[in-house]
């Protein structure tokens, strides 16, 4: 298999319909996009997805230009870019910035800022956030520069968080507490009828009346860390929704400090760290 941002070459290793091969490397949504606005060739001849393949057939996919698809307004905000290549960006998002536009925050989001950056850099793509963070959560996010890279890296990204909680905690553990939404609000609660949510954590240090904790998630439920630790009686410092406000933080003291993924083009494992400004003393060892 050969791939870049707008082209991919595959070689059939079995007899099957073209559609079956494509659905092993593409999501249904991505395949629909290529069918509607791109090109699919077999042995240099344009074919439909119902075409029968033979072993050794060469399949070429040409992805459409994404520039015309973006409906996000550009915002020319100076981003903190930790890493960039032809396929991905790693961005350190500040607290106070929503990841994507929504009814409450229609503009001035990370997606708006990335759209502005793409425009200035001549990058022919819409924004593909591989992962997201709450508005008041800071830290590392992975951004794919096209839908193909987005699909290839989905489910392959590892992240770790550091955060401050109220009160004193010790040790480490795993929280397996189902989370459900509260109708008509953004709040989440622990509820046996909710979706499974698994958080692995360990205490790093005591920070005065607070505790510094590291966590990784097996599931990515909305507000997962915030809800789990509030349920334990240790809400995150500054969390106005599940705890109480703090004069030093505009929101919860929660930061995505570590990001790791296997690059689908180079097959190299890339690791990045970015620590929050509020972390006191030496950086904890992992």
**Does 4 have pLDDT greater than 80?**
no
pLDDT of residue 125: 85
Catalytic-residue membership of 134? yes
Q: Are both 167 and 223 inside the same structural domain? A: yes
Position 254 pLDDT exceeds 70: yes
Is residue 182 in some structural domain? yes
CB 144 within 8 A of CB 265: no
pLDDT at 286: 58
Q: Looking at the structure, do residues 48 and 71 belong to the same domain, yes or no?
A: no
Answer yes or no: do 250 and 167 share one domain. Answer: yes
Identified catalytic residue from 13, 57, 134, 191: 134
Asked if residue 200 has pLDDT above 70, the reply is yes
Residues paired with 260 in a beta bridge? 158, 271
In angstroms, what CA-CA distances link 26 with 47, 154, 232?
A: 17, 11, 41
The mean per-residue pLDDT over the stretch 71-98 comes to 95
Token duo for residue 167: 């009160």
Q: pLDDT averaged over the chain?
A: 91
Average pLDDT rounded to a whole number, residues 103-126: 91
Q: Is residue 91 part of a domain?
A: yes
Q: What tens digit of pLDDT does each residue of 24-82 get?
A: 888 787 888 888 888 999 999 999 999 999 999 999 998 877 665 568 899 999 999 99
| 281 pLDDT tier (thresholds 50, 70, 90) | low
Question: Is the CB of residue 104 less than 8 Å from the CB of residue 75?
Answer: no
Any domain includes 133: yes
Dihedrals phi, psi of 84, to nearest 5 degrees: -155, 140
Please give the tally of structural domains in the chain. 3
High-pLDDT (> 90) share of the chain, %: 71
pTM, whole model, 2 decimals?
Answer: 0.82
pLDDT above 50 (res 3): no
In a domain, 169, yes or no: yes
Residue 286 lies in a domain: no
Q: Give the C-alpha distances (Å, rounded to integers) separating 233 from 46, 128, 188.
A: 61, 36, 15
- Token pair 């699919």 is at which residue? 40
The answer to whether residue 283 sits within a structural domain is: no
Share of the chain above pLDDT 70, in %: 94
Model confidence at 246: pLDDT above 80 = yes
**Residue numbers of the domain that contains 122:** 67-155
Q: Which pLDDT score, from 0 to 100, does residue 114 have? A: 96
Q: Is residue 267 part of a domain?
A: no
Residue 43, in any domain of the structure: yes
Give yes or no: residues 14 and 72 share one domain.
no
Judge if 149 and 87 occupy the same domain.
yes
Which of 12, 34, 62 is a domain's end point? 62
Buried b (16+ CB within 10 A) or exposed e, 189-205: bbeeebeebbbebebbe
Residue with tokens 């698809």: 69
Average pLDDT over residues 167-184: 95
Q: Which of 19, 36, 62 is the last residue of a domain?
A: 62
- Condensed to tens digits (0 to 9), the pLDDT of residues 137-156 reads 999 999 999 888 888 888 88
pLDDT at 156 (0 to 100) = 87
Compute the distance between CA of residue 231 and CA of residue 190 in angstroms, rounded to an integer. 7
pLDDT for the residue 285 = 63
Asked whether residue 37 falls in the same domain as residue 88, the answer is: no
**Domain CATH number, residue 113:** 3.30.2350.10
Tell me: pLDDT of 172 over 90: yes
Q: Which of 126, 155, 184 is the last residue of a domain?
A: 155
- Judging by beta carbons within 10 Å of its beta carbon (0-12, 13-18, 19+), is residue 147 exposed, middle or buried? buried
CATH code for the domain in which residue 31 is found: 3.10.290
């Amino acid at each position: 298999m050969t791939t870049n941002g707008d082209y991919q070459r595959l070689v059939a290793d079995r007899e099957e319909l073209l559609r079956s091969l494509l659905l092993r490397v593409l999501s249904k949504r991505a395949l629909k996009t290529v069918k509607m606005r791109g090109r699919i060739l077999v042995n240099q001849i344009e074919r439909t997805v119902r075409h029968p393949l033979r072993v050794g057939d060469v399949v070429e996919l040409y992805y459409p230009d994404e520039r015309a698809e973006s409906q996000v307004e550009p915002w020319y905000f100076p981003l903190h870019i930790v890493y960039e290549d032809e396929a991905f960006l790693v961005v350190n998002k500040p607290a106070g910035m929503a990841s994507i536009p929504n009814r409450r925050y229609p503009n001035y989001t990370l997606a708006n800022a990335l759209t502005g950056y793409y425009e200035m850099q001549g990058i022919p793509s819409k924004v593909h956030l591989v992962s997201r963070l709450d508005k008041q959560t800071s830290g590392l996010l992975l951004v794919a520069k096209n839908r193909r890279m987005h699909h290839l890296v989905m489910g392959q990204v590892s992240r770790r968080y550091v955060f401050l909680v109220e009160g004193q905690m010790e040790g480490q553990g795993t929280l397996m507490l189902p989370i459900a939404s509260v109708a008509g609000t953004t709040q989440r609660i622990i509820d046996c009828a909710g979706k499974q949510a698994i958080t692995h954590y360990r205490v790093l240090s005591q920070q005065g009346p607070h505790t510094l904790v590291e966590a990784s998630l097996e599931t990515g439920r909305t507000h997962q860390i915030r809800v789990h630790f509030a349920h334990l009686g240790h809400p995150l410092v500054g969390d106005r929704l599940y705890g109480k406000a703090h004069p030093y933080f505009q929101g919860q003291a929660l930061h995505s400090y570590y990001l790791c993924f296997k690059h689908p083009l180079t097959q190299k494992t890339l690791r990045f760290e970015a620590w929050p400004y509020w972390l006191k003393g030496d950086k904890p060892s992992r």
